[in-house]
Amino acid sequence: MRTLANGVGDLKKVLSNVKTRGNWGEIQLGNLLEQMLTAQQYDKNVATIPGSSERVEFAIRLPGRDEGQDVVWLPIDAKFPQEDYARLIEAHDAGNVEAIETIGKQLEMQIKKCAQDICGKYLQAPYTTDFGIMFLPIEGFIC
């Protein structure tokens, strides 16, 4: 039991670092894409908008809309709002209805902010689809 508790503690330490959490989400997303698609169907670290320095973690390659256009990208970005989610779980476990509502709204606002970030950085028709995908690598998370 001690070994298991130490392992959980080590995992909590790793996931408390924002950069490490981001890498964890990217790895999970990459593994899912690798299992579901061929290497020709997606790419990593893609500048979806020509001339932009912004690079999305993954993008699915779709056929171009016009004959002169080779590819249209569907951007996928991993986000990991762990702090807000953990606070929501704690409030739920405590049965604090008021906190659940307040923290739930905060989590919703954080997710919307992440979605706007994806939209602003990675979406621009005709180079991309009109929408992107936000991957939330949190088990049990329902939106």
Please provide the DSSP assignment of 110-141 as one string. HHHHHHHHHHHHH--TTTB-S--EEE---TT-
Angle between helices 18-36 and 2-15 (to 10 degrees): 100
pTM of this prediction? 0.76
**Confidence at residue 109, expressed as pLDDT on a 0 to 100 scale:** 92
Separation of alpha carbons 91 and 38, rounded Å? 42
DSSP state of 67: T
Give phi and psi for 103, each to the nearest 5: -70, -35
Taking 90 as the threshold, does the pLDDT of residue 59 lie above it? yes
Per-residue pLDDT band at 139 (split at 50, 70, 90): low
pLDDT at residue 88, as a whole number: 86
Report percent pLDDT > 70 for the chain: 80
Per-domain boundaries in the chain = 2-135
